[in-house]
Chain A
Amino acid sequence: MSGTDNFDDLRDLYQEVILDHGRHPRHAQRLQTFDATAKGDNPMCGDRVQVWVKYDGDRLDHVGFEARGCAISVASADLMAETVQGRAKADTKALFEAFRTMARTGACPDCGGALAEPLERLAPLSGVHEYPSRVKCATLPWHALIAALDGTKEASSE
């Protein structure tokens, strides 16, 4: 292809942020010390993720993950780790619910509220709503995280 191809037609789902986090995830590591961990498995496409959490009281002090899967699932895991760090457990669950709605519908009814800031950081993933079969790629790491918070060992995407 010529050097002038700026791939405009490919960018609605694969925005630069997603490509970047998919290629160079910052939080893709197993934590040496952790309080909770859980795996997520999407047998339909072979995506697999494990999430580790270290608490500081009621807060998530540190989140790390290992993922094998598509760019969307890796980027989503990384953005998730970034946005939940320092957040209270209950807050994290609320964020997941709001994110799931965004991933499924593209709409963000909670974007004006208390979670506006983290949701904005997750917004690049909202493009998956146009690809129903890919929504679970974005939500799988979250399912694993919530399973870890709830003390269950395995989550599978819906």
Chain B
Amino acid sequence: MNVMTNPAALDVERIRADFPILTQTIRGKKLVFLDSAASAQKPRAVIDAMVNAMETQYANVHRGLHWMSERTTESFEGCRDAAAALMNARDRSEIVFTGNSTGAINLLAHSYGRGILKPGQAVLISGMEHHSNIVPWQLLREDRGIELRVAPVTDAGELDMAAFEALLQDAKVGLVAMTHMSNVLGTVTPAERIVQVAHAHGAKVMFDGSQAIVHRKVDVQALDCDFYVWTGHKLYGPTGIGVLWARRELLEAMPPFFGGGDMISSVTYEKSTWAEVPHKFEAGTPAILEGIGLKAAIDYVQAIGYDALAAHEASLTEHALARLATVPDLRIIGQAQDRGGVVSFVLGKAHAHDVATLLDRQGIAVRAGHHCAEPLMHRFGLDSTARASFGVYTTHAEIDALADGLVRVRDFFA
């Protein structure tokens, strides 16, 4: 963690006041929510934006010639501008809305994987992917004979760069599809370096930024990657909306995935022609309210600023690693140098589900299980871990509560 630690940059108490849910009590205890990596809580601004839209202007987008539809189209399309600015995309047309990260990766596996990649080529992922960045490529392999390669993870939980580079040597890899931040280990992958190496061997690069974009400024032009996907609900936005960013020329070359309304230019029984990008990839009525909510979430994040977010996260992570190190029998899984606010651990012989349930009794919400990353669990000889993850509203006191709660769980089982 080389990020400057300046927690003063972010007034957590003021931020917490923006999240209505944080005043909840759970089983009579103050909620300590340490499961933001699974899905983050929503600020008032997001809730209000969605309710307001429903109460004052709601109609379908892109098709009505009436006031309501025009207002709603404007608000919804505002999300595209906000997302483009968030990622420093060259153009708003490079933002394709999907249902979530999973939807974005599946879109890519269909349109790029089946439309552009050729049998005999390979897709290269890492050993720390979420199932959503494994299974679509397996389906592609079965369907089209496109090889799936896996770059190994070191004992510290980092990408093995030498092995990664070796897997690119035969120039068969057409696409590197890799996480930008592991949802289990917290590892932030060396994205710039990955792109340089991959491009040098003729491969395009997609990042799964589901976790990374919550904590780090993502600049797709500076990264020089080709595709970048993320999901709204982890960035304090609603469920049901995600983003595929791609270079415009790639989107133009790719065939559509879903067919239907909104994605066409004209339809006859003999032949249909496609709408311009990004609409070519957005068949059917989109997640209108979710887009409006996501716009508010992006505005919220931008107002805080990534410098403050990253500093807050670095400070929390540092505190968590230090405090958890004092819990007897606790082992942290993943010791990457560059890491974000996600910490997985095992506690002696206690099963992760018992640990999570006993923390829940104390009002502390963590996740336990394989975190949709079974191959990674097996890499570390585990079936499951417990995981604490942090958001903009997480406090140092909550991490202290976690550490104290874990000491009690450990003593309870001793």
Contact = CB atoms under 8 A, between A and B. Distances in A.
Given A5-B408, A5-B411, A134-B353, A45 B358 contact: no
Interface string A1-14: 10001010110111
B269 interface: no
Contacts of A19: 412-413
Interface residues of B, number: 23
Interface string A66-86: 001111100000000000000
Contacts of B352: 45, 70
B354 A1 contact: no
Interface in B352-368: 352-354, 357-358, 360-362, 368
Nearest to B411: A1
B99 interface: no
A10 B358 contact: yes
A60 interface: no
Contacts of A9: 361-362
Q: Per DSSP, are chain B's interface residues mostly helix, strand or loop, or mixed?
A: helix
B383 interface: yes
A119 B42 CA distance: 44
A34 interface: no
A72 to B, nearest CB: 7
Most-contacted residue by chain A among B354, B370, B413 (CB, 10 A)? B354
Contacts of A72: 353-354
B41 interface: no
Interface string A109-147: 000000000000000000000010010010000000000
A141 to B, nearest CB: 15
Contacts of A5: 408, 411
Given A46-B383, A46-B384, A69-B351, A1 B357 contact: no
A44 B369 contact: yes
Interface in B84-118: none
Given A9-B362, A46-B370, A71 B351 contact: yes
Interface in B378-412: 383-384, 404, 407-409, 411-412
7 contacts: A7-B412, A10-B358, A10-B408, A46-B370, A71-B351, A72-B354, A134-B357
Interface of A: 1, 5, 7, 9-10, 12-14, 19, 44-46, 68-72, 131, 134, 137
